[in-house]
């Protein structure tokens, strides 16, 4: 089991590991969003945060739009910065314990349908070979740690939001992004004796080039344009995973066909928009 730090603990760490140290000297490092799961690990809980009273209808709409943008654009530095700002703005003032409770209660419903089957097979293959599997994500620890438990990985590194009096302050204690991911890989190698030339890394984003370059067996998953070009130039393995079957039950029946056709994010945005504007008066007829 993963030790879960208390949200009020000032000594909270950006690390979540199994209690026993693995003797293996090879690890596989996985980015999470759009590498192991098809969506943002933070935004997939948007509806559940709304149901739990943390989000307003307007906030739900904004999250749906951000999710759509994430699906349709490359995760370059500017885009990632905008996503980071959206998430920190959205979470400011939330009670950290409530977030953890909601994520725990809705984990299976929210996450399992968006796991790439091919990524799950890769993880299982590494585990069968005796490799440690590590998730390294820019998303918050409150989301990534339970997903790591669901996937059965050996360790997690993730972003840590500052908590003051049990609530998110809007500041970030540790941002697990870019060069920081490569630093984490090297730190783990020193701590657990991993031979980096024998290790593996997987990501979809060019922002993870430092992490990919730190190991001997980098591979890219559904890469953005820049990362695909880099992978082709370096001769790295390229995986193109099809999107998993969408989770339709929370969509209105009239919109389900849209999602099945591959535009579920658009449907979600429109549904959220309709919910946010349901009580607005219609414009007068001309």
Residue 170 backbone class (left: φ over 0; alpha: ψ -120 to 50; beta: rest): left
The parent domain of residue 216 ranges over: 15-246
> Is residue 115 in some structural domain?
yes
* pLDDT tens digits, one per residue of 260-276: 333 333 333 333 334 33
Residue 233 has pLDDT above 90, yes or no: yes
> Is residue 203 in some structural domain?
yes
> Is residue 286 in some structural domain?
no
Give me the CATH number covering residue 97. Answer: 3.40.50.1000
> Is residue 270 in some structural domain?
no
pLDDT at position 194 is 96
> Is residue 147 in some structural domain?
yes
* pLDDT tens digits, one per residue of 150-178: 999 999 999 998 999 999 888 889 999 99
Cα torsion 106, 84, 156, 182 to 10°: value is: 160
44 Cβ neighbours under 8 A, 6+ residues apart: 37, 110, 111, 114
Question: What DSSP element (H or E) covers 146?
Answer: helix 141-151
H helices then E strands: how many in the chain? 11, 8
Question: Is the dihedral angle over the CA atoms 230, 233, 235, 240 positive or is it negative?
Answer: positive
Residue predicted with more confidence, 252 or 152:
152
> Is residue 152 in some structural domain?
yes
Contact 141, 16 (CB under 8 A): yes
Whether 240 sits among the annotated catalytic residues: the reply is no
Residue 283 has pLDDT above 80, yes or no: no
Question: b/e string for 175-206 if b means 16 or more Cβ within 10 A?
Answer: ebbbebbbebbeebbeebebebeebbbbbbbb
Q: Count of domains in the chain?
A: 1
Residue 17 has pLDDT above 90, yes or no: no
Whether 121 sits among the annotated catalytic residues: the reply is no
* pLDDT tens digits, one per residue of 103-137: 999 999 999 999 999 999 999 999 999 999 999 99
Residue predicted with more confidence, 253 or 188:
188
Q: Highest mean pLDDT: which of 22-31, 59-68, 170-179, 224-233?
A: 224-233
Q: How confident is the model at residue 59 (pLDDT cuts 50, 70, 90)?
A: low
Residue 5 has pLDDT above 70, yes or no: no
pLDDT at position 180 is 95
Q: How confident is the model at residue 198 (pLDDT cuts 50, 70, 90)?
A: very high
> Is residue 266 in some structural domain?
no
> Is residue 226 in some structural domain?
yes
Q: How confident is the model at residue 40 (pLDDT cuts 50, 70, 90)?
A: confident
Given 8, 9, 31, 51, the catalytic residue: 31
Of the candidates 103, 157, 139, 133, the residue with the CA atom closest to the CA atom of residue 26: 133
Given 8, 9, 33, 78, the catalytic residue: 33
Mean pLDDT to the nearest integer, 81-90: 68
Angle at CA 30, nearest 5°, toward 24 and 32?
145
What is the length of the chain? Answer: 286
């Amino acid at each position: 089991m993963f030790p879960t730090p208390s949200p009020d603990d000032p000594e909270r760490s950006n690390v979540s590991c199994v209690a026993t140290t693995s003797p293996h000297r090879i690890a596989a490092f996985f980015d999470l969003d759009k590498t192991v799961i098809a969506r943002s690990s933070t935004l997939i809980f948007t509806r559940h945060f709304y149901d739990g009273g943390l989000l307003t209808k307007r906030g739900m709409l904004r999250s749906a739009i951000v999710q759509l943008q994430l699906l349709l654009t490359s995760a370059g530095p500017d885009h990632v910065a905008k996503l980071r700002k959206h998430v920190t703005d959205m979470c400011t003032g939330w009670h950290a314990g409530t977030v953890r409770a909601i994520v725990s209660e809705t984990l299976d419903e929210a996450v399992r349908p968006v796991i790439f089957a091919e990524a799950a097979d890769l993880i299982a293959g590494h585990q069968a070979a005796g490799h440690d599997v590590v998730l390294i994500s820019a998303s918050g620890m409150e989301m990534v740690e339970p997903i790591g438990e669901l996937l059965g990985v050996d360790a997690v590194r993730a972003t840590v939001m500052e908590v003051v009096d049990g609530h998110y302050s809007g500041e970030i204690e540790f941002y697990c992004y870019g060069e920081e991911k490569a630093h984490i890989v090297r730190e783990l190698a020193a701590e657990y004796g991993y031979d980096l030339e024998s290790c593996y890394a997987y990501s979809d984003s060019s922002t993870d080039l430092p992490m990919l370059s730190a190991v001997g067996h980098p591979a890219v998953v559904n890469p953005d344009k820049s990362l695909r070009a880099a992978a082709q130039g370096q001769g790295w393995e390229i995986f193109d995973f099809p999107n998993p079957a969408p989770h339709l039950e929370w969509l209105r029946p009239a919109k389900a066909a849209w999602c099945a056709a591959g535009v579920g994010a658009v449907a979600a945005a429109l549904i959220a928009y309709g919910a946010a504007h349901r009580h607005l008066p219609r414009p007068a007829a001309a």
